[in-house]
A = this chain, B = another copy of it.
């Protein structure tokens, strides 16, 4: 994913504290064609696992998940952070922590969409501390569905999230991995 690396180099801004701002093409403004390419690449990597649904977290996960869902021709489900009135009392939840939103975040899903036959692929924008992804995986474990893989657009390897995911025993793919932020440089793996 050379073009994604180039975009991070040219437009990403390191804010300190391990936080990379990619608001100009991924997290606030979204480059639709870049996101389509992200979806194509996720589909290429995960198609062999025959996922039947994608699970992500609102809001920044929705775009890469939908782009992958369109290519794989499977539905996506996004975990809600706040329970809307349309969601039944039977919703299941996990509590996690977000750096970029400061503090505890809830992940809430309606379990009716994760039945026994479903093979779930988790997709998110970042793999950093892996807290959100572990929260999503815990939600899947509370349902009869099977987790088959995990994909992130950008991995911040120095935060060690990938090691935490080992316990899940599924393939983990990131499209770009950042080893280190130096003063004026982003070092890719």
Contacts and interface: CB of A to CB of B under 8 A. Distances in A.
A24 B113 contact: yes
Interface residues of A, number: 44
A21 interface: yes
Copies of this protein chain in the complex: 2
- Residue with the highest number of chain B CB atoms closer than 10 Å, among A31, A33, A59, A73: A59
Interface of A: 15, 19, 21, 23-25, 27-33, 35-36, 53, 58-59, 62-63, 66-67, 69-70, 72-78, 80, 82, 84-87, 99-102, 109-110, 113
Contacts of A67: 66, 70
Contacts of A76: 29-30, 32
A35 B70 contact: yes
A69 B28 contact: no
10 contacts: A19-B86, A28-B80, A29-B77, A32-B66, A32-B70, A33-B70, A35-B66, A35-B70, A59-B62, A62-B66
Given A19-B85, A58-B58, A78-B59, A113 B29 contact: yes
